[in-house]
Amino acid sequence: MTKSVFAALCGLALSASVAAQNVMPMLELTAGFHRIEAEVAATDQNRQRGLMQRREMAAQHGMLFVFAQANTHCMWMRNTLLPLSVAFLDEEGKIINVEDMQPQTEDNHCARRPARFALEMNLGWFAQRGLKAGSKVNGLDKAPRPQ
């Protein structure tokens, strides 16, 4: 095997390894009778990247952020191209508050009291379905542990 072929194979293996690390697990959640297919950001790297650079997201898709501990976590929209709504959730999956967020802004959108999870959906998703503070999101018990 020549050095250039070996180097190319090593490069492909490294690219595949990096791509595999960037794949987020999927989790099915429910809110009332609404089904949600959520990518799960349970690692620091995935929580930092979130939905950055995405140009579209299906209506029933979202991203669940799993935090190591309950806190008044805040979200922002740097490099995020989609308008989103975020629901901050307590340990039991009850919505604490929902915040609407505009693309490519750095405004902080924070939980009003300690939250263990944040669920981002397309802008207006929660309001259009009558989901607000006190509503429950189910299926969080199946989320991977935060890292």
Model confidence pLDDT, tens digit, residues 112-129: 999 999 999 999 999 999
More confident residue, 117 or 12: 117
Show Cβ contacts of residue 27 under 8 Å, excluding neighbours closer than 6 positions: 37, 38, 39, 40, 64, 139, 142, 143
In a domain, 109, yes or no: yes
Q: Distance between CA 99 and CA 109 in Å, rounded?
A: 6
Q: What is the mean pLDDT of residues 19-26?
A: 68
Q: What is the mean pLDDT of residues 16-22?
A: 42
For the chain, the domain total comes to 1
Q: In 10 A of CB 122, how many CB atoms? A: 18
Kindly tell me if the per-residue pLDDT of 9 is higher than 50. Answer: no
100: nearest Cα among 82, 79, 78, 73: 82
At 25, list the tokens.
Answer: 């697990």
In a domain, 137, yes or no: yes
Kindly tell me if the per-residue pLDDT of 52 is higher than 70. Answer: yes
At 137, list the tokens.
Answer: 């999101």
User: CATH code at 132?
Assistant: 2.60.120.1140
